[in-house]
Structure 1
Amino acid sequence: MNQIISSETSTALSADTARVREYLDRAVRPAVLDEETQKTYKANIKQLMQQKNARLVAHYYTDGVLQDLAEESGGFVGDSLEMARFGRDCDAEILIVAGVKFMGESAKILSPDKTVLMPTLEATCSLDIACPADEFSAFCDQHPERAVVVYANTSAAVKARADWVVTSSIALDVVEHLMDEGKKVIWAPDKHLGSYIQKTTGADMLLWNAACIVHEEFKARGLADMRKLYPDAAILAHPESPSAVLEIADVVGSTTQIINAAKQSTKSEIIVATDQGIFHRLQQVAPDKKFIIAPTAGNDATCRSCAQCPWMGMNSLESLYGSLKETSNEIHVDSALAAQAMIPLQRMLNFAENNQLKVRGKA
């Protein structure tokens, strides 16, 4: 059984689209800074971090300048759960999270006693926007017999309603575990990732109807045409992409899995279907290879992201400096809500440890 659900009416789906569009309209990319200005900001930020005992954690999809700064200053670059776990385990008093808002919330849930800042609080995620906690909770209440599994790309309130929180690389194992226990599943929010899990495992799943605006725009027909141009290239795709894209891919995996696959591949040319921000790390781990972004709707069509998350792009040196200097853009999560959200998060971490799995994914 594999049902696509959401608010179940075209009116509600249109409302979800309108909500995403409203946030997109506010997602303005910062101006590109010249090299000298970048150096000045980086030096000032490093000085402030030392003074305030702060660490920077950055997602793979953020600007390469921020990724470099995180590593140069003793911080971390990775996926959202890896970022949050690094923050929990480091001795900093302040964590600066370069990413999108749910990542800041995850960091705060795992590090409630630390101050968690973000360069901007406007950086959000289409998956988060399209899964309002009240609507999702009401749907879950209608299916109390099902285990609720949510992707890390969700708000603290949605996590608090879940039985499990998962990343893309551990999701298959968790769903198979639930199948072994005879349980049916509610999955949220990404319908493409949910469909991939359902097809792979055969699980009985109800899927929330949301999608990542970056991955949803990758086109199977364009990818097939690109393969003709690069017949010897490997194709690596994130499972948030449409199923027709995944069927063409040689490897389907999380950001970390894509990076590892690129590093290990014997191919000199690699087509990648995920956010272009990952190219910074790909070029570091495999400098001798040519990386090509998979086709989206194209420059002359209606693509909203063109393989670049507009909200990840809002993170900048300038906004990071301002946030750290003023101790602004702080993430707050209600303590009771955080405690409830920590239960499914900890369940995932325990499961991964017990099964010797790596808790890594796009999230």
Structure 2
Amino acid sequence: MNAKAQELVRSHLDHLHDEGSALSEEQRLAYRQRIKDLLQQRDAVLVAHYYTDPEIQSLAEETGGCVADSLEMARFGKEHPASTLIVAGVKFMGETAKILSPEKRIFMPTLEATCSLDLGCPEQEFADFCDQHPDRTVVVYANTSAAVKARADWVVTSSIAVELIEHLDRQGEKILWAPDKHLGGYVRDKTGADVLCWDGACIVHEEFKAKGLDDLKAAYPDAAILVHPESPASVVAMADVVGSTSQLIKAACEMDNSTFIVATDKGIFYKMQQLAPQKTFIEAPTAGSGATCRSCAHCPWMAMNGLENMLAVLEADNGLGQEIFVDPSLAERAMVPLNRMLDFGQSLKK
């Protein structure tokens, strides 16, 4: 990640604060019931990412909502009849929901929940980068702002990234990829396409270490290694399966191994353990022995989604200012590459 982007991310991390305190069991149950009642009263549905706290994921499941990766969250929110969406994740997910469903009200437990990939790809710097390479097709990861999406030809998620770049490469197109350099490099290696990468990275996945992973594998030689492609190439090279959150969950369910070492945000363990309760899941190491880390395999911004701030938003008439708005003209431009993503993803299922 370039120095300016690193400083911006560091600044945000330094100012993070705990969104809630520890709740007693009685309080926790009371919060959950009140949230369930208000979701129904407000014609709202809860959409949660796999990386949010298990408490939030289970609540989404119990109320007819959705727990998914960013692509499925986008599809679900667009197609669900509810007039209001509560998006538990990070801000770009709320923006994407608003772009795809402009007629709906979109709220988040906190608008402070952002993403190092989004922060590390500012609108103007990215536009300048694109202008320097006008011959390239611009493909941006979903983990970007609405303004960056609006500058792109395509939006993509990790679940369809390889397939999309293969498709564009067959058409003879050269790619400008942003913002995750590790995912971009992985796609380039898998497809052989001409891919120029923006210098960005996820603070969670960039911390996984090949040496620590090798040591852990020695301790669990029969374990399969599952890796998200936002991880460094040295970690990806050790994987038995590389894939998006949904693809890693699928692999955990379908593979014969009884033990898995997982190199992605540990929020995914909730769904893995739910679907494969007889199997053992181990966190991949994020640093050397005794070292500290910025995320410790869990996104600090995802962790900001809690029962307390979700209830506060639902109880307030104006949502405590946690409503997502996107300029209509910007949304119209961003809709084009987003719809291309959704249509392409749907075509892969045929």
TM-score (norm 1): 0.93
Deviations 1:72-111 (A, max 9, x none): 1111110122112211111111100000000000110111
Deviations 1:170-226 (A, max 9, x none): 111111111111111000000000000011111111100010000000000010111
Q: Give the structure 2 partner of residue 51 of structure 1.
A: 41
Is contact 1:81–1:106 with CA below 8 Å preserved after alignment?
A: no
Q: Secondary structure at the match of 1:270?
A: strand
CA distance, structure 2, for counterparts of residue 254 and residue 170 of structure 1: 9
TM-fit CA distance, 1:302: 3.6
Runs (4+) of structure 1 moved beyond 4 Å? none
Q: Give the structure 2 partner of residue 340 of structure 1.
A: 333
Q: Give the structure 2 partner of residue 15 of structure 1.
A: 4
Is contact 1:104–1:331 with CA below 8 Å preserved after alignment?
A: yes
- In structure 2, what residue type is equivalent to 1:39? L
Deviations 1:330-358 (A, max 9, x none): 0000001111001001112222233427x
CA distance, structure 1, for counterparts of residue 26 and residue 255 of structure 2: 37
Which of 189, 199, 208 lines up with 2:189 in the alignment? Answer: 199
CA distance, structure 2, for counterparts of residue 152 and residue 302 of structure 1: 29
Is contact 1:159–1:165 with CA below 8 Å preserved after alignment?
A: yes
Q: Give the structure 2 partner of residue 60 of structure 1.
A: 50
Is contact 2:206–2:232 with CA below 8 Å preserved after alignment?
A: yes
Q: Give the structure 2 partner of residue 141 of structure 1.
A: 131
CA distance, structure 1, for counterparts of residue 118 and residue 287 of structure 2: 23
Which of 205, 214, 219 lines up with 2:209 in the alignment? Answer: 219
Q: Secondary structure at the match of 1:186?
A: strand
- In structure 1, what residue type is equivalent to 2:339? Q
Which of 3, 10, 14 lines up with 1:25 in the alignment? Answer: 14
TM-fit CA distance, 1:46: 1.0
TM-fit CA distance, 1:299: 7.0
Q: What is the Cα-based RMSD across aligned positions, in Å? A: 1.2
TM-fit CA distance, 1:145: 0.7
Deviations 1:244-296 (A, max 9, x none): 00101100000000000000111111000000100000100000001000001
Unaligned runs of 5+ in 2: none
Q: Give the structure 2 partner of residue 190 of structure 1.
A: 180
The alignment status of 1:304 with 2:294, answered yes or no, reads: yes
Is contact 1:263–1:286 with CA below 8 Å preserved after alignment?
A: yes
Q: Secondary structure at the match of 1:56?
A: strand
- In structure 1, what residue type is equivalent to 2:8? R
Unaligned runs of 5+ in 1: 1-5, 7-12, 358-363
Q: Give the structure 1 partner of residue 68 of structure 2.
A: 78
CA distance, structure 1, for counterparts of residue 153 and residue 333 of structure 2: 10
CA distance, structure 2, for counterparts of residue 45 and residue 114 of structure 1: 19
TM-fit CA distance, 1:168: 0.5
TM-fit CA distance, 1:298: 4.8
The alignment status of 1:318 with 2:311, answered yes or no, reads: no
- In structure 2, what residue type is equivalent to 1:335? P
Is contact 2:212–2:288 with CA below 8 Å preserved after alignment?
A: no
CA distance, structure 1, for counterparts of residue 103 and residue 332 of structure 2: 13
- In structure 1, what residue type is equivalent to 2:303? G
Q: Secondary structure at the match of 1:292?
A: strand
Deviations 1:37-92 (A, max 9, x none): 11000111111111111111100000101111111111111012211221111111
CA distance, structure 2, for counterparts of residue 25 and residue 206 of structure 1: 31
Q: Give the structure 1 partner of residue 118 of structure 2.
A: 128
Is contact 1:238–1:253 with CA below 8 Å preserved after alignment?
A: yes
Q: Give the structure 1 partner of residue 228 of structure 2.
A: 238
**Correspondences of 1:151-300 after superposition (within 5 Å):** 151-298=141-288, 300=290
- In structure 1, what residue type is equivalent to 2:14? D
CA distance, structure 1, for counterparts of residue 45 and residue 257 of structure 2: 37
Q: Secondary structure at the match of 1:248?
A: coil
CA distance, structure 2, for counterparts of residue 271 and residue 33 of structure 1: 31
CA distance, structure 1, for counterparts of residue 247 and residue 186 of structure 2: 16
- In structure 2, what residue type is equivalent to 1:46? K
Q: Give the structure 2 partner of residue 10 of structure 1.
A: none
Is contact 2:75–2:342 with CA below 8 Å preserved after alignment?
A: no
Q: Secondary structure at the match of 2:229?
A: coil
Is contact 1:298–1:306 with CA below 8 Å preserved after alignment?
A: no
Cα 1:349/1:148, change in 2 over 3 Å: same
